[in-house]
A = this chain, B = another copy of it.
Amino acid sequence: MTSPTLADAVRALDGFYPPQTAAGWDRVGLVTGDLQQTVSRIHFAVDPTLWVITEARELGADLLVTHHPLLLRGVHSVATTTAKGAAITTLVVADVALYCAHTNADVADPGVNDALATACGLSATDPLDEEDGQPIGRVGDLPSPTTLGAFCRALADALPAAPAGLRVSGDPEASVRRVAVQGGAGDDRFDAVRRSGADVYVTADLRHHPALEAREEARGGAPYLIDAGHWATESLWLTGAADRLRTALVAQGYDVQTTVSRLRTDPWDFVVPTGHGEPTDRPKEHDAL
């Protein structure tokens, strides 16, 4: 059996994640490489960091597929004086092609949000919201109600280890059944979450003001919030995507190997607990309001 060309691999990926389904501001598809080059090993990762590129090169990969674009903002230089330029230069010199599937992988079925929904224990889901005709996030019901605390422990077991863990807003004893998910940054979708009737929203990159305002609107009740980490929530997709691509290329008669990065590209390396002695207060019940 022969190896596919980069053109073969790109054609298969474009089929799974059609570029025209990406958001208007997004930049997806091929970033480096020549369509005629042969591809015998394909590596998958969330972020095209310098360490991930080194990992790909050392593994002998010809193609690196990442979720996040390397050049979301256009560049006017690839000199090695910037990290982006060093990444491009390393890829080009090492003959490693880079392909990015970002918001087109978010909206795909199966895609990034399906992998996250599965990790939450959801089997059937609906879109959480819609934008430019594409489904954004997912919402669905657990097989049976549980507590927020138990739901979090189960989700934590399904996610890769990261120092920051899950940050949760809500009463661990509260009952939850309807779950909304949005991999990556989700603090611009609270209106859709409220409309969906979700009891809990699993997403990441939640900042103080949007999160606190969402909690105020909820008057302390549902929907509760879980910040499960940008990298962690999106890394769940990698293995399935790699399998799907290899299967498709093998079905076309090609010989190709796929690997998934073992590097954590979440920026946080460790956590330190704060405060000593008496904790600050947080009311459990808001019935006076």
B-binding residues in A (CB < 8 A): 27, 29-35, 47, 49-51, 54, 68-69, 71-84, 86-89, 92-93, 97, 149, 152-153, 155-157, 159-172, 184-185, 204-209, 211-213, 215-217, 219, 225, 227-232, 262-276, 278-283, 286, 288-289
- A149 nearest CB across to chain B (Å): 8
Select A76's contact among B33, B71, B206, beta carbons within 8 Å: B71
Report the bound CA distance from A79 to B10 in whole Å.
12
B274, A262: Cβ atoms under 8 Å?
A: no
A162, B77: Cβ atoms under 8 Å?
A: no
- A106 nearest CB across to chain B (Å): 14
B86, A289: Cβ atoms under 8 Å?
A: yes
A267, B206: Cβ atoms under 8 Å?
A: yes
- A243 nearest CB across to chain B (Å): 19
B88, A169: Cβ atoms under 8 Å?
A: no
Oligomer copy total: 6
B47, A212: Cβ atoms under 8 Å?
A: yes
B residues in contact with A76, CB < 8 Å: 27, 31, 69, 71-72, 74-75
Select A274's contact among B162, B169, B208, beta carbons within 8 Å: B162
- Which of A171, A227, A232, A282 gathers the greatest number of chain B CB atoms within 10 Å? A282
B209, A207: Cβ atoms under 8 Å?
A: no
- Which of A155, A184, A275, A288 gathers the greatest number of chain B CB atoms within 10 Å? A275
B residues in contact with A75, CB < 8 Å: 71, 74-76
Chain B residue nearest to A7 (CB atoms) is B81
B267, A211: Cβ atoms under 8 Å?
A: yes
B residues in contact with A71, CB < 8 Å: 74-77
Report the bound CA distance from A225 to B269 in whole Å.
10
